[in-house]
Structure 1
Amino acid sequence: MSWSGRFVPPHPFPTDDPQAPPLALALLLAALATPAALVFGLMAGSAGWGWPSHEIFWLIRVPRVLAAFGTGAALALAGALIQLVSRNPLADPHVLGVTSGASLGAVLMLAFAAGLPLAPEIGAVCGALGSMTLVFGLAWGGMNRGLSPSAAPGTVLVLLVGVMVGTVCGAGVSFTLSVANDSQLRNIVFWLLGDLNGASLWWPIWAAAGIALLLVWPRARELDWIARGDAWAWTLGVPVARRRRTAIFAACLVTGAAVATAGSIGFVGLVAPHIVRLTGLRHARLLIPFSAVFGGVFLVLADTAARTLIAPVQLPVGVISAAVGAPLFLALLLRRHA
């Protein structure tokens, strides 16, 4: 560390790139990809391609496409926020243990209270809030006891506590699977793989994503400064701990809503922000909303493939997102270190 007029710490997400494509390129890609994905999603069905009847269109396909877009946008938004505040380009919603907590809540409701209205949704939201509260309580308590004397180690402590909470929740899911009967087991496995079949409530995930954006986007520039380093942000007057807590809370909120809508879906929160960075958009005020858009497009296309690849059988969308997202993320990672 050196000080020569100003502090310039290392930054894993560069915000100044004279070779970056202009904003117009990202806008063009979003303007082309979004309607194309929506049209594909509305025309695709387990019986094949084509425009459906009025009832199927409005009661099944429109809610499913809206739920898929909102879920992808929420997961990508959560991934972008966690990567910014943790300064870890490999971070995603699973790191905080919120996805595991939401999955545990949903699995318990599917196994023991499946007859209740909205049982898995209620369980997922309660599980997400419970795991979030546990992570915050343990991590913040550790920092107050002196286990983390500064904000930067505090971030590491939050992530470590999240991993441990996620491990415990994963053990709870495994126990529930071991005691579930055959009919319960099928529903639980599809939920854990990520499944949009029957997703009719699309507005809660859109509402959660909107609330999260309202919480973090007005202070997006401060998230850039936090991503450069806590010392940099402090010199500019940023309340680092408060901004980090707000961003993590927003990420937890949208992750819980996403799991409540579609189950546990991986790689969206990892891949979408990196795709946006490839267009040259690295400032948080642009990275956050464009990550949400590209995440929504990605999941709509993945769900379209899940419905049509081996029609009339519908695959869980989590299988497609993993099959596409894992190689794509590996390619991005190799390109980053080339």
Structure 2
Amino acid sequence: MRLSAPPLARASMVAALCVPAAMLIALTSGTSGWGWPQSDILWLLRFPRAMAAFGVGAALALGGAVIQLVTRNPLGEPHVLGITGGASVGALAALMLLPMGTRFAAEGGAILGAMLAMTLVFTLSWRALGRGLSPVTQPGTVTVLLIGMMLSAASSALVAILLAIASEQQLRGLLFWLLGDLNGASLWWPVWVAAIVALLMVLPRAHELDWLARGDAWAWTLGVPVAQRRRHALAAASLAIGLAVATAGAVGFVGLVAPHVVRLCGLRSARLLMPFSALFGGAFLVVADTVARTVVAPSQLPVGVVSACVGVPLFVWLLLRQRSAR
């Protein structure tokens, strides 16, 4: 009889291999080629960028896992639901309206934009979210997805308006947020702090998120304050997503890819899904950024392009799989 490792042990072994390997690849590769770099290049360029990539990936993956649990929708993701777009609008507006050089202007604007976008999505779809207990066939999940897509389109329109009225001096800096690029992301610690704080906010009540994932009525019968717990979880997700967008721009689909990789390892409870999603999301974006830096060297691709090349096919596959299961 063939014995397989328990899901937690298997996921832990994969994470223990993937995270250090991703960081090592990022530190030993660049536009100039492969190999261990000089000290200045390592500590001033590659190390901060790798840390920023890991923090952004972890924050987006954690936000995606929380959104999927709260919406009971396996397709839930910050980019698809318009949360990334809202954070981008907030960051761009803050950069345009606040005096140049204002500290943490983009970070504050991105967090407010993410929270406003998430509030709009769930305010417009709160009736649909209360119907049924099934995480797959429930009509509310489709409503949330459609409203999120419309909000994403509206955010794109607002971004276009901001770019149209921006001055030439502002335009160069504003375009950074649209590309999903980590080039120049040397300030890496705020997104790490945001991801850790967000995880600490949701982890103590992880079992209640599992109950929410089975439906509002189910959670309510078990004594969960549904509205309060949803607002608390979404506030944590908005904090993580907002700082991720402020650091790297509109990087999409990390929050979709990482939680599903964790589920494929056999981990489905929120207590394990959220931290392991953060680990795999961080490793995924570090590798994606390494590909973006090296595949067309000495030029560089936006990391959002690489993540979308993986995320879009996965999103289509999951959507077709969900429809065929009905």
- What is the TM-score normalised by the length of structure 1? 0.82
Kindly indicate whether residue 278 of structure 2 is the aligned counterpart of residue 292 of structure 1.
yes
Residue by residue over 1:115-151, the C-alpha shift from the partner in whole angstroms, topping out at 9 and shown as x without a partner, is 5255xx52353243145247538966x79xxx84985
Kindly indicate whether residue 215 of structure 2 is the aligned counterpart of residue 229 of structure 1.
yes
Shift of 1:241: 1.4
For 1:32-181, what aligned pairs fall within 5 Å after superposition? 32-108=17-93, 115-116=100-101, 122-130=105-113, 132-133=115-116, 136=119, 148=127, 151=130, 165-180=151-166
Match of 2:301 in 1: 315
Identity of aligned residues (%): 59
Alpha-carbon contact 1:21-1:279 (below 8 Å) kept: no
Distance, in Å, in 1 between the alignment partners of 2:152 and 2:314 is: 25
Distance, in Å, in 2 between the alignment partners of 1:298 and 1:167 is: 26
Shift of 1:41: 0.6
Partner AA of 1:237 in structure 2: G
Shift of 1:165: 4.9
Alpha-carbon contact 1:307-1:315 (below 8 Å) kept: yes
Moved more, 89-98 or 325-334: 325-334
RMSD: 3.0
Shift of 1:327: 2.3
Uncovered stretches (5+) of structure 2, i.e. residues with no partner: 133-139
Alpha-carbon contact 1:20-1:281 (below 8 Å) kept: no
Distance, in Å, in 1 between the alignment partners of 2:279 and 2:131 is: 30
Alpha-carbon contact 1:20-1:280 (below 8 Å) kept: no
Partner AA of 2:174 in structure 1: I
Moved more, 221-230 or 127-136: 127-136
Match of 2:136 in 1: none
Q: Sort the Cα spacing of 1:279 and 1:214 in 2 relative to 1 into closer, same or farther, 3 A.
A: same
Q: Determine which of 292, 296, 302 is the counterpart of 1:306.
A: 292
Alpha-carbon contact 1:103-1:127 (below 8 Å) kept: yes
Alpha-carbon contact 1:68-1:296 (below 8 Å) kept: yes
Residue by residue over 1:95-127, the C-alpha shift from the partner in whole angstroms, topping out at 9 and shown as x without a partner, is 554322221233345567795255xx5235324
Match of 1:263 in 2: 249
Alpha-carbon contact 1:274-1:332 (below 8 Å) kept: no
Alpha-carbon contact 1:135-1:158 (below 8 Å) kept: no
Shift of 1:245: 1.0
Alpha-carbon contact 2:84-2:245 (below 8 Å) kept: yes
Distance, in Å, in 2 between the alignment partners of 1:165 and 1:95 is: 9
Partner AA of 1:32 in structure 2: L
Alpha-carbon contact 1:205-1:254 (below 8 Å) kept: yes
Residue by residue over 1:16-47, the C-alpha shift from the partner in whole angstroms, topping out at 9 and shown as x without a partner, is xxx99521111110011010000001111111
Match of 2:313 in 1: 327
Alpha-carbon contact 2:95-2:105 (below 8 Å) kept: no
Distance, in Å, in 2 between the alignment partners of 1:167 and 1:335 is: 25
Uncovered stretches (5+) of structure 1, i.e. residues with no partner: 1-18
Match of 1:3 in 2: none
Partner AA of 1:272 in structure 2: A
Partner AA of 2:46 in structure 1: R
- What is the TM-score normalised by the length of structure 2? 0.85
Alpha-carbon contact 1:98-1:128 (below 8 Å) kept: no
